[in-house]
């Protein structure tokens, strides 16, 4: 009966579009992939990230990283410059805790970093304070805050790595001397560009790509659909596979009316699409997970496609700032969804 009820609900949701709306766009013509985002001082903060400001379609193109910090103090306000990051940086993990944005790892044009820091809004300017560094350099990981512990899973140690990390780190923010602990990782392949989430006091890990060295020595991606749940004190449990891969989908995922919702992401269907300039974009749908039924459903009606995007929760709304619309193309748009429908 529970399973039947779940599928009837899922069928009903397929025809119902979520009420997505937009906040003012970030004041950059290109927008950014993989910035940091969170809330401090009641304001929404988006910082760093990368884009391709010149010729995107050349065989050799130049990606640029940024240290700019933007602040939006109210939904109908305007974005303001709020300071600078310690360095131009993107593709890290960010969560909101203690009225500040906690930022972990990331990359720039030179490499990957273990640096961690806190962004706090004070008198209209963002102040930076150091946090314990990650156990090793890491970019393209995913992470989330569960209760008072930050968890970070997977990632890539360096730009030239041909194997993703199979690491699971935890930082107890309430520890007398906070330090990263390395925990047993999930019982599946190593991965990067996965999606994190939180449900019922547990950390959830979904999708991503694993890497292997190809004949030319370059990394070859395998798109993953598996999912796992980590309950502190109990360990890992495998969940039902996703209906499709959702690589680099906005992370952490939203919890909407008790269901984990993964929005868009790269399903790998067009990974070899040529010419890349005409790539149709990533899927415009959402994957919803019901823990009671251990089952996923697919919901259409998402008005945008995104990959390599961070997320935040602000004023009871789920925020997806910027990210990639399709390969090499970012967007300055900021999309938002109420967490209670």
CATH code: domain of residue 99 = 2.120.10.80
- For residue 8, the SS3 value is helix
Query: What are the angstrom distances between the C-alpha of 228 and each of 186, 208, 224, 251, 255?
Result: 7, 12, 12, 15, 16
H or E segment and range at residue 94: strand 93-97
pLDDT for 19 equals 92
Copy the structure tokens of residue 322: 């910027």
pLDDT for 13 equals 41
Give the residues of the chain that fall short of pLDDT 50. 1-15
Q: How many domains does the chain have?
A: 1
The answer to whether 296 and 289 are in contact (CB under 8 A) is yes
pLDDT for 215 equals 87
Cis, bond preceding 252 (omega within 30 deg of 0):
yes
pLDDT for 135 equals 98
**CB burial readout 117-147, b (16+ within 10 A) else e:** bbbbbeeeebebeebebbebbbbbbbbbbbe
User: Residue holding tokens 């970030």?
Assistant: 26
Domain enclosing residue 298, as ranges: 2-338
Terminal C-alpha separation, the chain: 24
Q: Which residues contact 130 (CB under 8 A, 6 or more apart)?
A: 115, 116, 117, 118
pLDDT for 341 equals 60
């Amino acid at each position: 009966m529970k399973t039947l009820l779940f599928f009837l609900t899922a069928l009903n949701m397929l025809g119902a579009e979520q009420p997505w709306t937009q906040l003012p766009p970030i004041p950059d013509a290109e927008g950014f992939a993989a910035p940091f985002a969170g809330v401090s001082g009641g304001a929404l903060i988006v910082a760093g990230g990368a884009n391709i400001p010149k010729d995107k379609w050349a065989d050799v193109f130049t990606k640029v990283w940024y240290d700019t910090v933007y602040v939006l103090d109210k939904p109908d306000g305007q974005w303001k410059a709020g300071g600078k990051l310690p360095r131009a940086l993107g593709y890290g993990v960010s969560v909101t805790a203690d009225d500040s944005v906690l930022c972990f790892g990331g990359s720039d044009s030179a490499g990957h970093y273990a640096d961690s820091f806190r962004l706090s809004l004070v008198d209209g300017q963002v102040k930076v304070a150091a946090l314990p560094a990650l156990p090793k350099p890491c970019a393209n990981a995913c992470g989330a805050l569960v209760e008072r512990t930050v968890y970070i899973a997977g990632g890539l140690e360096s730009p030239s790595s041909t194997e993703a990390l199979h690491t699971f780190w935890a930082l107890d923010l309430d520890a007398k001397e906070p330090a990263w602990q390395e925990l047993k990782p999930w019982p599946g392949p190593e991965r990067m560009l996965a999606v994190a989430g939180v449900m019922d006091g547990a950390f959830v890990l979904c999708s991503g790509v694993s890497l292997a060295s190809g004949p030319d020595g370059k990394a070859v991606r395998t798109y993953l659909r598996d999912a796992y749940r980590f309950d502190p004190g109990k360990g890992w449990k495998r969940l039902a596979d996703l209906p499709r891969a959702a690589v680099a989908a906005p992370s952490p995922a939203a919890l909407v009316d008790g269901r984990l919702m993964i929005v868009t992401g790269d399903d790998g269907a067009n990974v070899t699409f040529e010419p890349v300039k005409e790539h149709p974009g990533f899927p415009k749908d959402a994957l919803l997970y019901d823990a009671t039924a251990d089952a996923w459903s697919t919901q259409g009606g998402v008005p945008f496609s995104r990959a390599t995007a961070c997320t935040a929760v602000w004023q009871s709304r789920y925020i997806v700032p910027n990210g990639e619309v399709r390969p090499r193309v970012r967007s300055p748009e900021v999309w938002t969804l109420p967490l209670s429908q």
